[in-house]
Amino acid sequence: MTYIVMDPCIKCKLMDCVEVCPVDCFYEGENSLVINPDECIDCGVCEPECPVDAIKPQADDEPGGKWLKINTEYAKLWPNITVKGTPPNDAKVFEQEAGKFERFFSTKPGRGS
């Protein structure tokens, strides 16, 4: 089992989650993060750190495992991130939005740290 980053992270990318992970398994995209399910030890420490509730246990995934697939795929492509960076200026604007994946998800890598 693993934890997964879901839709609320997109365009918010607050990064409060990255520094608490004991195994450093967050990976950075241009406008969101993912967890590497093969590295996550299912400790749950990151879940309460996210101010927008973007991190959930795998059991809370959508039918078909949509977010597990996204986390697995992009953890292989994006750089590791262990240090909190500066969130986007307009993060607040996107906090209450739903369905951001279809409209805003960027496949481009972030800078990592």
Verify binding: residue 16, ligand F3S, rule CB under 6 A.
yes
Selected binder of ligand F3S within 33, 40, 70, 75 (CB under 6 A): 33
Site string for ligand SF4, 42-71 (x = CB under 6 A): xxxxx-------------------------
Q: Does 25 help bind ligand F3S (rule: CB under 6 A)?
A: no
Run of H or E residues at 26? strand 26-28
3-state secondary structure of 78: coil
Measured torsion, CA atoms of residues 5, 79, 2, 33, in degrees rounded to the nearest 10: -10
Q: Which does 43 bind (CB under 5 to 8 A by kind): ligand SF4, ligand F3S, none?
A: ligand SF4
- What is the chain's alpha carbon radius of gyration, rounded to the nearest angstrom? 12
Is residue 11 close enough to count as binding ligand F3S by CB under 6 A? no
**Measured torsion, CA atoms of residues 29, 34, 40, 45, in degrees rounded to the nearest 10:** 110
Interacting residue ranges for ligand F3S, rule: CB under 6 A:
5, 9, 12-17, 33, 49-50, 52, 54-55
